Amino acid sequence: MKLRDIKLKAKADMKNGYGFAILTMILLNLVVFGSLTLGLVIGALLTAGAVHCCYVAYFTDVANHERKGVDSTYRGFRQFMRALVATLIRFAIIWIPIVILMIIDAALCAPLLADGFQSDASLAFVLTLVFAIVCILYYLIMNAKMYFTYYVMNDEVDLSGWDCIRRSMEMAKGRIWKLIGFELSFLGWWILCIITLGALTLYVTPYYYTSQANLYLSLKAPAPAAAEGAAE
């Protein structure tokens, strides 16, 4: 299924369902804000996975045209420990290398800037730009590889957090740039959300997650030819 078709289906799936979706978002965000009393980083890490699982569970049901009300919304909290493990692993895989690259960049640029020469400052700028591009590409690729972690977790209740990440990586093989393209296709919407001081997120977030759920379901389903071959 093409990205355009996935988004069109998401809009159709969400028709007449925005009210409950917005209520779901508000309640889940209250959980996140409440957790921040434990500290910004700790609170976010503790709740991010479980809350993401709640979003995934609800909007996957929307994409499947299965409205299960409150149970659909909050069953993600039943995956709390698996989601926490997966979140910590994802955080480490993505951010530890990026932090290391930033430290290397700072170590290389500090002597150049200390000299005060224009040529050295220009070289420092180029180095920082190169490191920034590498970090961004690394983030996009690794995020794409682990893109469906919580969707797998929602489907496969017996898998560990690490196994969900591995299954997601298997699904992403050969599809990395498609997944990155999907994420970047919403960049304009997120910029508009910032411009409207978050007001537009009430529309964009349900649209984004329903599109994401449809993308997962389309990649999870066997191709028509493969399905026919299996039936024979």
What DSSP line would sit under 125-155, residue for residue? HHHHHHHHHHHHHHHHHHHHHTTTHHHHHHH
Residue 227 has pLDDT above 60, yes or no: no
pLDDT one-digit tens code per residue, 163-195: 999 999 999 999 999 999 999 999 999 999 999
Whether 77 is in a domain gets the answer yes
Average pLDDT, integer, range 96-114: 91
pLDDT per residue over 109-138, tens digit each? 888 877 766 667 888 899 999 999 999 999
Q: Does residue 8 belong to any structural domain of this protein?
A: yes
In a domain, 159, yes or no: yes
**Is there a domain that residue 108 lies in?**
no
Question: Which DSSP string corresponds to 153-175?
Answer: HHH-TTS-HHHHHHHHHHHHTT-
Percent of the chain with pLDDT over 70: 83
Note whether residue 207 is domain-resident. Answer: yes
In total, how many domains does the chain have? 1
Separation of alpha carbons 187 and 190, rounded Å: 5
pLDDT per residue over 136-166, tens digit each?
999 999 999 999 999 999 899 889 999 999 9
Nearest to 206 by CA among 72, 54, 59, 7: 59
* Residue 185 domain flag: yes
Q: Which residue has the higher pLDDT, 198 or 176?
A: 176
Band (pLDDT 50/70/90 cuts) for residue 225 is very low
Question: Helix, strand or coil for residue 184?
Answer: helix
Domain annotation covers residue 113: no
- C-alpha span between 213 and 104 (Å, rounded): 38
> What's the pLDDT at 120?
75
pTM of the model: 0.84
Q: What is the reported pLDDT for 76?
A: 76
Q: Which helix (H) or strand (E) holds 182?
A: helix 176-184
Query: pLDDT tens across 29-82, in order?
Result: 777 666 666 555 666 667 778 888 888 988 898 888 876 566 666 777 888 899
What does the block give as tokens for 174? Answer: 């050969």
**82 belongs to a structural domain:** yes
Whether the CB-CB separation of 169 and 146 falls below 8 Å is answered with yes
Range of the domain at 210: 3-89+146-218
